[in-house]
Structure 1
C-alpha cells in the first residue's frame, strides 16, 4: 500500500502565506455554509458538513468562525451558491481541475478563463481532463502522528484502500463513499486529520521543468486568488528542488 507521496504536487495548497489566511477562511466558511444548507446543520448527521468542518479545523480556523458559518445556513442567510467544475490544460500540457462555489457563474467562468489564457493555459470542455483522474477520498496526517507502520495498521483497520507516506505526510486514500466512515475510524485511532476531502488523483503525472513550473505556479496563484475557486487539482510533478527555488515548497 505504501509509496512515495505526490500529494503536494497534485493539489495546489491554499493559504500558505499569512496574507492569504483571511481569504482561505472565507473559502472554508463558504463550503461549511453550503454543506449545512444542503443537509442537516449537524456534523454527525451530515457527512459533507463534517468534511468541511474537519478541513477548517485542519487549517486552524477558529471555532467561532466555524459556528458562524453553520449558523448562517441555519438562519438561511447569505447568498445561494452553486458548485461548478472547470477543466483545462496548463504549461507543459498539465491537466487541471478547478472546483468552485459561486453565486454568479458568468463572473466565475470569465475569471477562470482569463487566468488560464494569461498564464500559458487553455480552458477545456467539461470532461476534457477528468478522465485522467480518479475520484477518491483523501485523508492526510502529518508525519508527526507516527511512523508509517503505525499509520498503515490504523488505515487498514479503518478500511482504507491505500496509504502513501513521506517525510512530511501520510496520505490515506479511500473510495468516495467510504471517506466519512474511514475518517471517523482514523480520528479515533490517530486524532483529527489535517485534511479530509474528496480528491482528484491523477492516474499519470507530468514532470515539469523549472521554466514551465514558473508559469504553472503563476496560473495556480491566479486561480487561487479568485474568491470563487475552492480547490485546484493537477497532474503535475515538480521536484522539491525546483519548488524550493521558486518559493513554492
Structure 2
C-alpha cells in the first residue's frame, strides 16, 4: 500500500496556491452552503457538509465564516448553486477535470472554454477524459502525523484502500462512499487531517517537459482564479527539476 505519490508535487503546489488566493474562503463557503442545502445543516448528520467544514478548518477559515456559510443554506433568497463538471485536454495532451459550483452555467462554461482555448487546451464533452480517472476519497496528513508504519496501520484499520507516504506527508485513498467513515476513524487515531475530499485519481500520468509545463500551469492558474471553479484535477507529472526551472 505504500509508495511515492506520482502527483504529490501537483497536490502540494495547488495547496500553496490555495493559501495565496484571495478567493479561497469564498470557494470554501460556497461548498459549505451547497452541502448544507443538500442535506442536514448539522455536520455530524451530513457527511458532505462535514467534509466541507473540515476542508475549511484545514485552511484556518474562521468559525464565524463557516457558520454564516451554513446559515446561508436556509436563508430566503440565497444563491442557488449547481454542480458542473468540465473535461478537456491541456498542453502536451494532459487530461484535465474541472469541478465548479455555479449560479450561471453559461457564464462558467464560457469562462472555462476561454481559459482552455487561450492556454493551449481544448475543452471536450463530459466523459471525454474522466474514463482515465477513478473517483476516490482522498485524505492528506502531514509528516508530523506519524511515521509510515503508524499511518499505514491506522489506514488499514480504518478501511482505507491505499496509502502513499513521503517526506512531505501521507496521502490516503479510500472508496468514495467510505470517505466519511475512514476520515472519522483516522481522526480518532491521527488527529485532524490537512485535507479530506473526493478526488479524481488518474490511472496513468503524463511527464511534462519545461515548455508544456509552463503553459499548462498558466492554464491551471487561470482556472483556479475563476470564482466558480472549485477544483482542477489532472493526470500530469512535473519533475522537481522542471519546477525549479520554471521558478
RMSD of Structure 2 on Structure 1 (CA)? 1.4
Is 1:163–2:163 an aligned residue pair?
yes
Over 2 Å off, 4+ runs? 6-12, 14-19, 74-78, 244-247
The SS at the match of 1:87 is strand
Partner of 1:138 in structure 2?
Answer: 138
Is 1:227–2:227 an aligned residue pair?
yes
State the 1:9 CA deviation: 4.5
The SS at the match of 1:13 is helix
Partner of 2:185 in structure 1?
Answer: 185
Instruction: Give the whole-Å Cα distance in 2 for the aligned partners of 1:17 and 1:152.
Output: 28
Residues 10 and 238, structure 2, Cα contact 8 Å, conserved in 1: no
Is 1:34–2:34 an aligned residue pair?
yes
TM-score (normalizing by structure 1) = 0.95
State the 1:15 CA deviation: 5.9
Residues 161 and 175, structure 1, Cα contact 8 Å, conserved in 2: yes
TM-score (normalizing by structure 2) = 0.96
Is 1:24–2:56 an aligned residue pair?
no
* Gap runs ≥5 in structure 2: none
Instruction: Give the whole-Å Cα distance in 1 for the aligned partners of 2:8 and 2:245.
Output: 16
Partner of 2:124 in structure 1?
Answer: 124
Instruction: Give the whole-Å Cα distance in 1 for the aligned partners of 2:16 and 2:103.
Output: 22
The SS at the match of 1:41 is coil
CA deviation vs aligned residue, 1:100-137 (integer Å, no higher than 9, x gap) = 00000000000000000000000001100000000000
Partner of 1:199 in structure 2?
Answer: 199
* Gap runs ≥5 in structure 1: none
Report how many aligned residue pairs link the two structures.
Answer: 246
Partner of 1:241 in structure 2?
Answer: 241
The SS at the match of 1:79 is coil
The SS at the match of 1:230 is strand
State the 1:180 CA deviation: 0.3
The SS at the match of 1:153 is helix
Partner of 1:84 in structure 2?
Answer: 84
The SS at the match of 2:85 is strand
